[in-house]
Homo-oligomer: A and B are copies of this chain.
Amino acid sequence: MFKIVIIGSGNVATHLIQAFSENETVDLIQVFARKKENLLSFIAPAKIVDNLSDLKEADLYIIAVSDDAIEQVANQISFENKLVVHTSGSYDFNGISTKNRKGVFYPLQTFSKNKAIDFNTIPLCLEAENEADYAVLEKIAKSVSEKVYQINYQQRQSLHVAAVFVNNFVNHLYQLGSEICDNNQVDFEILKPLIEETANKINKLSPKEAQTGPAKREDFNTIERHLQFISDENQKNIYQMLTQSILSNGKKL
C-alpha cells in the first residue's frame, strides 16, 4: 500500500480525504489542517496534525491548498526526495522545492461543501518528472477514479481556462437566467429541463452542431425584442457580446 499524506482542509482536500478513506491501494496516514476542527467529520482526529513539522514519512504528499500557498507549504515539508504533488489547474510544479520530486494531481471538477459527488467519475490529470513517479501517481489515481489522464503543464492550463468557460461562466449564466425569472414572477424550475438537455446534448452532437437560438439563425427581430425586454445593463452587455460571438461563430472579430 502507498502511504499518503494530504495537506489542506478546503473543498478539494476534503473530497480527496473521503475518496482515499476506504481504499485498498492507498493508506491515508495523515492530514494537515491549520484548523483541526474543519476535518473532524472526515477523518479520525489522531490522523490530523496542525503543524507541518509533525508530518510523517510517506510515499506521496498531496498539497491541496490555494495556489498562493503551494510554494510555502512545499518548502516546509522536512523530508527529501519524496514525491510531492499539488492539485492546482493553473500552477506549474516548479514552485515545489527541488529537494523533492514533483508532480501534479489535478482533479478537474467543481467541488462545493454541500454537494456530494461520485469521485469515481472525476477526471484526474496527472503530471510527474519521471516515468516511475508517473506510474505511482497513476496507480493511486486509478484506485479512486476511472478517468485518469497524463496532462502536461500547457494542456493543464488550457483545461483550467476551458473549465472557467464551461463551469464558472456557465453557472453565472444560470444565475442571470434565474434573476430574469425572479424579476418576472416565473419559477426558475421551468428552465431546469432545458439546462439538463443543453448539457446532455453535447454527448451526442458537438457544441457547434448543437447550437440553436436567434443568433444562430440570424433572427435579428427576436434579438432586438430581447434587447428591448432586458432592462439590466450588465445583462444587456453580456447578451450583445455573446450574440455577436455566435453570429461570428466564435471567430476573431
Contacts and interface: CB of A to CB of B under 8 A. Distances in A.
Interface of A: 11, 66-68, 90, 108-112, 114-115, 117, 121-123, 125, 147, 149, 151, 154-155, 157-181, 183-187, 190-199, 201-216, 219, 221-222, 225-226, 229-230, 232-235, 237-239, 241-242, 245-246, 248, 250-253
A226 B173 contact: no
29 contacts: A67-B221, A109-B194, A110-B197, A112-B210, A112-B212, A114-B205, A115-B201, A121-B193, A122-B193, A123-B194, A158-B181, A161-B180, A162-B177, A165-B177, A166-B177, A166-B194, A167-B194, A167-B212, A168-B215, A169-B246, A170-B174, A171-B207, A171-B210, A172-B250, A174-B210, A175-B211, A233-B252, A233-B253, A241-B241
> Could you say which of A179, A186, A233 has the most chain B C-beta atoms within 10 Å of its C-beta?
A186
B173 A229 contact: no
Contact of A184 (B155, B246, B253): B155
B171 A202 contact: yes
A155 B210 CA distance: 26
A203 B214 contact: no
A232 B212 contact: no
A109 to B, nearest CB: 6
B226 A161 contact: yes
Contact of A204 (B115, B159, B180): B115
B252 A90 contact: no
Nearest to A185: B155
Number of copies: 2
Nearest to A222: B90
B221 A207 contact: no
A205 B114 CA distance: 8
A98 to B, nearest CB: 22
Contacts of A191: 108, 159, 162-163, 166
